[in-house]
Amino acid sequence: MPVLPNVLSALADGSVEIVDLTAPLSETTPVLQLPPPFANTIPFRLEEISRYDDRGPGWYWNDIHTGEHTGTHLDAPIHWVTGKDREGADVSQVALRKLIAPAVVLDFSDEVGKSPDFLLEIDHVRAWTREHGDLPDGGWLLYRTGWDTRSHDQAQFLNADETGPHTPGISVECATWLADEAPVIGLGVETVGTDAGTAHSFDPAFPCHTFVLGAGKYGLTQLQNLAQLPPTGAVLLTAPLPIVGGSGSPTRVLALVER
Ligand code: MN
């Protein structure tokens, strides 16, 4: 019995819904802002080549200016120094099997509503697995924080004050555990990066990048619409551009959900 016709009919009759987890890409898409002396990425921008005019009377097209880590995007292991020597760790080399994978959603939006510096701990994940079952082997842990409601506004999204950015993340212990013990292939977040806004001051700094990418796993950032996913059972289609040697890529992320 072939499977794909059943998938197509389920999509046609709505018993499987497609949820877009991708933020629109435009000049106003928030981008990370590192403090001096570090270099920063550019905002997304279209540069018009022609628009049914003298430069090309019958056609419209643009060049795009973007960083690899702009908008909804995938962090490949070589993004971080701890993953730089891994084989097959650039964004063009992600195994296809990992680009279609199960996902679970851990919802901590209430906690983050009380404190934007909320950190996910191992005990939070263990409490979730007692209720919902194990994390998916070869799948994604999607960390819902409600932060996607801020994604239309750079200042709200980065939420920085004189002490730096304040956005939710993951503790050092939990990042180590996700990297080395959890069966997942990666972590997806709604914030500008997988690490907390205050993670520059952790020991080590940026533990999610350090440990998760160092373990050959992946990060997915600036996701939205996680509220439309069930805690378990979604399947993620993750489509980074195969940028040869790239450390990441803007990525279309779609979820298939049984209704
Ligand atoms: Mn990134």
Residue 253 makes CB contacts below 8 A (sequence gap 6+) with: 20, 21, 22, 72, 188, 220, 223, 236, 237, 238, 239
Count of Cβ atoms closer than 10 Å to residue 57 Cβ: 9
For 212, which DSSP code? I
- Provide CB contacts within 8 A for 87, sequence distance 6+: none
* Residue list, CB under 5 A from ion ligand 1: 69, 75
Does residue 116 have a cis peptide bond before it, meaning omega lies within 30 degrees of 0?
Answer: no
Taking only the tens place, the pLDDT of each residue in 66-91 is 999 999 999 999 999 999 999 889 99
CA of 240 to the centre of ligand 1 (A): 12
pLDDT value of position 77: 98
CA of 68 to the centre of ligand 1 (A): 8
Report the Cα 151 to chain-centroid distance in Å. 13
Q: Tens of pLDDT along 205-254?
A: 999 999 999 999 999 999 999 999 999 999 999 999 999 999 999 999 99
For residue 248, the CA-to-ligand 1 centroid distance in Å is: 7
C-alpha 72 to ligand 1 mean position (Å): 9
List pLDDT tens digits, range 97-136: 999 999 999 999 999 999 999 999 999 999 999 999 999 9
Instruction: Please list the active-site residues.
Output: 79
Q: Which of 91, 87, 88, 66 is nearest to 76 (CA)?
A: 91
> Do 249 and 91 form a contact (C-beta atoms < 8 A)?
yes
Predicted confidence band of residue 1 (pLDDT cuts 50, 70, 90): confident
* Domains, in order of start, for the chain: 4-41+67-258 (3.50.30.50)
Mean pLDDT for 47-76 is: 98
